[in-house]
Structure 1
C-alpha cells in the first residue's frame, strides 16, 4: 500500500492480552501491505537498533499471539526523561527510525509510554521528519486517563475475583478449627482498581471479600483491626483484599519492599499482605494465611476475560488504522456507550491528554466506610470480566502458546552508547 515500515514496541509490565494487541497490529498492517518491525525489549531495542523482522513469522504464528501471554518481543521498564534531559537519546531514536524507513511508531504501554510517544512525535516535527506516533493502551492497573478501561485490566480483574471467591470457600471450610483470616494482595500502586475488582467475588454483606483496602483511602490500623474482629465474630472468618499501594495518612507505604526505585522512580512494593497478616495475628490472635499473586495476576491467560481480549485486539487494529490515516500523537481509547447491555467503541484521544494523568477510583465507587465497593463500582466493573477467551490446549493438558523466531534485521548504525 505504502512505502515505509511500522515500528511496534511493548513497554512496562506485560499483561495476559498484550500479545493479542500485537497480533492485531501486525495482521492489520500486513493486510495493508505494511512491513512491521518490533523493537526487542521495548524502547531499549529501538535505541540499540535491535529490531525484529515480523515478516519472518508465519500467519499462523501471528494469529497464535492472540492467545499467548507475556510480551512476545520483550518489554522493559526504561523511561526517557524530558526532551532537554535526554535529547541525545531522542535524537538517536530518530536516527534509528530514519535508518529503517519507519513512518509509523506504535508504543504499547501505560502513562509513561504515552508520554514518550508524545515527545517523539514533537521531536520528529521539530526535525521535519514525517513520522506518525501512536500510543497503544496497556496496563492491569486501569489507571490511564480518558479511556473507560484499559486492555489488560479486565483479565487481571477476572483472575482476582475468581481467585478470591475460590480461596474464600477454602477459608470458610477451615475456619472452625484453623484459619480465621485470609489476606490477598493485589497490584495497584496509587489506584485501587484491581483490589476493587475483588469485590465482584461476593454479593451480600457476609460474602468475601469482607474488607477491601484501597490506596485512595488512608490506612488506619486501629479501624482495620476492629473491622476484622467484627467480621470474624459475625461471619466466622474474614477475607481481606489489600492493594499493594495502601498508605498511612502521612503518605507512607504500608509495604515497601526495600528494593529502591525503578527507572520510572517508583518505590518497589510488595509484601503488604504479609505485614497485615502479622498485625492481625499479633493484635487479634487469629490464625492467618496470606498470598501474594504478583505476576500471576497479569499472566493468567487461561482465565482471560473475553471483553478484555476483544478490546486488546480492537485497540491494536485501530492503532494501525489511525496511523495510516496520519492521525499523529493520538491513542485509541475505549468509550463506554452503555452499561446494560454493555456496549463500547474505539475513538482517538490526543496523547497529551493521556500522558502522565492518573485515573483513580472515583469517590462514588468506594463504600462510605472505606472497606468495600458500591453498586456504581459493580456496574462499571462487572462487564469487564465477562466471557471466556478461547484458548487451545495440547494433549498434555496444557495451553498451546507460541514462541516467535524473532529474527533480527541487519543493523545500519554505530552501537548505541547509553
Structure 2
C-alpha cells in the first residue's frame, strides 16, 4: 500500500473542467487507499496550513465535481520566486508537507505552477524529504509547452466559437438599420489560441468572424480600419474577434490599462474590444457593439467540449498514477497521434521542459494576411471542441452544481503570513 498523503492544489485562473481533474485525482487516489488533502486557495492554503480533508466529502460529491465549474477548493494567483529569493516560503511549504506526512504533491495549473512544482521537488531533494511532485496541466490559453493541447482550452474554445456564431447571426439580422460592426474580445495575453478558435464559427470567406486580431501579429490601425470598411461594404456588416493581448508595432499592449502588474508579473489589460469599437465608430462613423466575455469563457460548463472533459479526467487519473509510481518532477501531457480520426494519449513529460515556457500560435496557423486562420489551424482546433457533455439540470432549469463542505484538518504548525 502506498505510504503517506497526497496534497492537491489548484492554481491561477480556473476552467470549466478543472474540477473534473480534481474529481479524477481524488477518485483515483481513493481507489489506491491514499488520503487526499486539498489546499484551500491554492499555494496560499498550503503555506497557511489551510488543508481540506477530502475524505469528509461523499463519493457523490466527488463525482459531481466533474460537472461543476469554478475551483472547488479555491485557487490563487501567487507565484513563488526562485528558491533563493523565496527561501522562507519554500521551507514553510516543506514544513507543512512534513507535518501532514505529504509524500505526493499535485499542482494543477499552467506554466508558473509547473515551475513551482519543479522547484518544490528540488527543495525536497535538498532536504532529503521523500516527495514526488507532479504538475497537472490546466489553462484556457492553451499556451503550455510540450502538451498538444491543455485541459480547459477545448471548452473555452467551444464557448468562443459558438458565441461568435450566434452573435454573428444577430448582427446579420440587424445590420440594415442598426449595428454594422461587432467586436468580440477573447482571452489571450501572449498567445492567440482562443481568438483562433473563433475562426471555427464560419467556413466561407464572407462568414463571421471576418477579421481576427492575434497577439502574434502587430496591430496596424490604418490597415485594420480599411479592412473593416471593406468587409462592411461587401457583406453588410463585420464581426471582429480580438485577442486581449494584441500589441502595436512598438510592442506595447493596445489595451494596457496602466494598472501595473499582477502577482504573476502580467500587465493589467483594460478591454481591447471597447477600444477598437471606439476607434471604428470615430473613424468610420459606423454603429458598433462590443462584448467582453471575460470569466464567461472559462466558466461555461454548460457548453463544455466532450473532448476537453475526457482529457481533464485523463490527466487527473494519470497524475495520481505517476505520483504513486515515483515519477518526480513530471507532468501528464496530451499527445496527438492522429488528426483524422482524432486520437490522443497521455504521456509523462519533465517539468523542466514545461516550466516558464510559452507556446504561441504557429506561423502556419495564421492566414497570410494576418486576419484569419488557415486550414492547418482548423485541423488542429476542430477536434478539441467536439462533443457535448452537459451538466445535469434541476426542475428549476438550473444546472445541479455542487459545493463541497471543505472541512479543514487541524493545524499542527504556528501561523504563517503567506
| TM-score class normalised by the smaller sequence | over 0.9
Give the TM-score normalised by the residue count of structure 1: 0.99
Residue 252 of structure 2 corresponds to 252
Residue 19 of structure 1 corresponds to 19
Secondary structure of the structure 2 residue equivalent to 1:309: helix
Q: Deviations over 1:321-340 (max 9, x none)?
A: 00000000000000000000
Separation in structure 2 between the aligned mates of residue 281 and residue 399 of structure 1, nearest angstrom: 39
Residue 376 of structure 2 corresponds to 376
Residue 191 of structure 1 corresponds to 191
1:391 offset after TM fit, Å?
1.2
1:407 offset after TM fit, Å?
0.2
Secondary structure of the structure 1 residue equivalent to 2:222: helix
Separation in structure 2 between the aligned mates of residue 417 and residue 405 of structure 1, nearest angstrom: 25
Residues 18-417 of structure 1: pairs in structure 2 closer than 5 A: 18-417=18-417
Q: Deviations over 1:296-343 (max 9, x none)?
A: 000000000000000000000000000000000000000000000000
Q: Which moved more, 1:317-326 or 1:261-270?
A: 261-270
Structure 2 stretches lacking a partner, 5+ long:
none
Separation in structure 2 between the aligned mates of residue 3 and residue 410 of structure 1, nearest angstrom: 20
Q: Deviations over 1:32-53 (max 9, x none)?
A: 0000000000000000000000
Q: Deviations over 1:5-47 (max 9, x none)?
A: 0000000000000000000000000000000000000000000
Separation in structure 2 between the aligned mates of residue 270 and residue 117 of structure 1, nearest angstrom: 31
Separation in structure 2 between the aligned mates of residue 402 and residue 10 of structure 1, nearest angstrom: 17
**8 Å CA contact retained: 2:210, 2:231:** yes
Separation in structure 1 between the aligned mates of residue 209 and residue 417 of structure 2, nearest angstrom: 50
**8 Å CA contact retained: 2:301, 2:390:** no
Q: Deviations over 1:241-281 (max 9, x none)?
A: 00000000101100023332110110111310000000000
Q: Deviations over 1:373-393 (max 9, x none)?
A: 000000000000000014100
Q: Which moved more, 1:388-397 or 1:346-355?
A: 388-397
Q: Displaced runs of 4+ in structure 1, greater than 6 A?
A: none
Q: Deviations over 1:176-234 (max 9, x none)?
A: 01100000000000000000000000000000000000000000000100110010000
1:3 offset after TM fit, Å?
2.4
Give the TM-score normalised by the residue count of structure 2: 0.99
Separation in structure 1 between the aligned mates of residue 106 and residue 363 of structure 2, nearest angstrom: 34
Separation in structure 2 between the aligned mates of residue 51 and residue 317 of structure 1, nearest angstrom: 21
Structure 1 stretches lacking a partner, 5+ long:
none
**8 Å CA contact retained: 2:7, 2:104:** yes
RMSD of Structure 2 on Structure 1 (CA): 0.6
Secondary structure of the structure 2 residue equivalent to 1:260: strand
Q: Deviations over 1:152-173 (max 9, x none)?
A: 0000000000000000000000
Secondary structure of the structure 2 residue equivalent to 1:381: helix
